[in-house]
Amino acid sequence: METIVNKVAESGIITLDLTTYLPQDAEMQYFDLKPFLFREMILREKDYRAALQNYDWESHRDKHVAISCSVDAIIPVWAYMLAASYLQPVARSVFFGKPEDMKTALLLAGIEAIDPKEFEEKRVVIKGCGEVHVPDAAYVAVTARLRPVVKSLMYGEPCSTVPIFKRR
């Protein structure tokens, strides 16, 4: 009887799933300025300040929060700053932009925290598909982070990879 050999397992290839570099310690939320605008179009300073003062900021405790406005309105910079000043004491982090921009920024920060020495002279496959969308910027960042130290860098799955870099 012939023994089945798992060549992928024996190859020493490390599979790196970039979604593991998303923060696992806190939920991500969106703080939209739209409900704080008069007729969802105009920011009136006195009303805006009063609304922020009466808002339940505890709902953002220990969350990563993106601040933006979902309608095309002229929002002065200080309005975002004021919302951030209320969020800062309760939120895990405060970010300006849409939720997908925040996700990208948090993922890039996670990739930047990778210790390249862990991958020195290793064969690494960057996982290419999964349930969670990974922004293209993350693939570029991890390539730049690991290329100087890896033996080889590939994209895809260990059984079907696209070669990206191989040290000669």
Encoded tokens for 48: 């805006």
Question: What pLDDT is stored for residue 137 in this prediction?
Answer: 95
Question: What pLDDT is stored for residue 129 in this prediction?
Answer: 80
Lowest mean pLDDT among 15-24, 64-73, 81-90: 15-24
Average pLDDT over residues 11-18: 87
Question: What pLDDT is stored for residue 62 in this prediction?
Answer: 95
Reported as a pLDDT band with limits 50, 70 and 90, residue 4 is low
Residue of 30, 100, 86, 35 whose CA lies nearest to 63 = 30
CA-CA distance, 114 to 142, in Å (whole number)? 9
Residue of 107, 97, 33, 94 whose CA lies nearest to 64 = 94
pTM recorded for the entire structure: 0.79
CA-CA distance, 49 to 123, in Å (whole number)? 55
Reported as a pLDDT band with limits 50, 70 and 90, residue 22 is confident
Query: In degrees, to the nearest 5, what angle opens at C-alpha 110 toward C-alphas 160 and 28?
Result: 105
State which H helix or E strand residue 151 sits in. none
Q: DSSP E strands: which ranges in the chain?
A: 13-16, 28-32, 64-68, 93-96, 123-127, 152-157, 160-166
Longest dimension (CA), the chain: 82
CA-CA distance, 32 to 102, in Å (whole number)? 14
Residue-wise pLDDT tens digits, 31-85: 999 999 999 889 999 999 999 999 999 999 999 999 999 999 999 999 999 999 9
Using an 8 Å Cβ cutoff, are 106 and 74 in contact?
Answer: no
